[in-house]
């Protein structure tokens, strides 16, 4: 069976925060960061599947730190797990100190993408083999997150979410 490693989908977008992209506090506007994360995650999902991909859901976003005007922002996206037609992509956002060059984690997010054909119908994607400890941890937890996302979207009955139930039993 065809498989890929998470590192093969690794996508890095580095860009500045410009005046048109900020809120009244002169920090990066949340919607702009969501768009950058969506773009990077979409490229990562496309690299894993080599297919057209669409965003199926945004499962988690944490805006932990404001990102000031002029900052250099790096958005790093990697597929953490591939299911049948869907892929979970984890995005880490880093802000670079202009003087020291040191990068600090500012935000993170988890998106689900689905690979589709030209008609927009879901198609099967290659499986994934995690390599590093972090990749293995993220892979293991991805099924729980998928079930939670499906339950919240009303696409799975809570009683069928076996991985979630196992957390409580
Ligand atoms: C995403 C989309 C292709 C799913 O189509 P669908 O007919 O619901 O297909 P399915 O029910 O077979 O789901 C396909 C996969 O997506 C997963 N999925 C669907 N909704 C999900 C959700 N909310 N959270 C997590 N996974 C989800 C399913 O579990 C399935 O995964 P699997 O095959 O790996 O097990 C379809 O809803 C779509 O085209 N949506 C619009 C996408 C778009 O335009 N996005 C841009 C934002 S405007």
Q: Please give the distance, rounded to the nearest whole angstrom, from the Cα atom of residue 16 to the centre of ligand 1.
A: 32
Residue 13 phi, psi dihedral angles, 5° rounding: -115, 120
Asked if 39 contacts 103 with a C-beta cutoff of 8 angstroms, the reply is no
**How many Å lie between the centroid of ligand 1 and the Cα of residue 117?**
13
What DSSP assignment string belongs to 89-124? EEEEEEEE-TTT--EEEEEEEEEEEEEE-TTS-B--
Q: What local confidence, expressed as pLDDT, does residue 1 receive?
A: 73
The residue whose CB lies within 8 Å of the most ligand 1 atoms, and thus the one to mutate among 31, 56, 119, 153, is 56
- Domains of the chain, each with CATH number or no CATH: 3-130 (3.10.129.10)
Pairing of strands 52-62, 72-82: unpaired
Can you give the pTM of this predicted structure? 0.94
As a whole number of angstroms, the distance between CA 149 and CA 143 comes to 10
Q: Under a CB-based contact definition with an 8 Å cutoff, are residues 94 and 29 in contact?
A: no
The separation between CA 24 and the C-alpha centre of its own chain, rounded to angstroms, equals 27
Q: Express each pLDDT in 90-118 by its tens digit.
A: 999 999 988 888 999 999 999 999 999 99
Report the nearest-CA residue for atom 19 of ligand 1.
56
Write a three-state SS string for 62-85: ECCCCCECCCEEEEEEEEEEECCC
Running DSSP on this structure, what letter comes out for residue 129? -
Q: What is the mean pLDDT of residues 148-167?
A: 90
Question: What residue ranges line ligand 1, CB within 6 angstroms?
Answer: 54-57, 83-86, 112, 114, 116, 120, 122, 146, 149-150, 153, 155
Distance CA 82, CA 113 (A): 10
48-82, pLDDT tens digit by residue? 999 999 999 999 898 889 999 999 999 999 999 99
Work out the pLDDT band at 169, boundaries 50, 70, 90: low
- Tokens 């860009």 label which residue? 15
Question: What proportion of the chain, given as a percentage, has pLDDT over 90?
Answer: 88
When the pLDDT of each residue in the chain is averaged and rounded to a whole number, the result is 95
Q: Whose CA is nearest to atom 9 of ligand 1?
A: 122
Report d(CA 63, CA 86) in Å as an integer.
Answer: 25
Distance 111 CA to ligand 1 centre (A): 11
Q: Provide the pLDDT for residue 97.
A: 83
Quote the pLDDT of residue 116: 98
d(CA 152, CA 39): 24
Tokens 């773009």 sit at which residue? 39
């Amino acid at each position: 069976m065809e498989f890929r490693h998470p590192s093969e989908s690794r996508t890095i977008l580095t860009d500045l925060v410009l005046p048109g992209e900020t809120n009244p506090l002169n920090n990066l506007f949340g919607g702009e960061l969501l768009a950058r994360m969506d773009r990077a995650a979409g490229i990562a999902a496309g690299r894993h599947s080599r297919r057209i991909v669409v965003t199926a859901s945004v499962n988690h976003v944490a805006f932990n730190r404001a990102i000031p005007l002029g900052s250099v922002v790096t958005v790093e996206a990697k597929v953490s797990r591939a299911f049948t037609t869907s892929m979970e992509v984890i995005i880490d956002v880093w802000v670079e100190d202009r003087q020291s060059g040191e990068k600090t984690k500012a935000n993170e997010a988890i998106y689900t993408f689905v690979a589709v054909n030209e008609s927009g119908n879901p198609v099967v994607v290659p499986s994934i083999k995690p390599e590093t400890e972090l990749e293995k941890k993220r892979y293991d937890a991805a099924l729980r997150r998928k079930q939670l996302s499906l339950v919240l979207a009303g696409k799975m009955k809570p009683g069928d979410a076996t991985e979630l139930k196992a957390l409580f039993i």
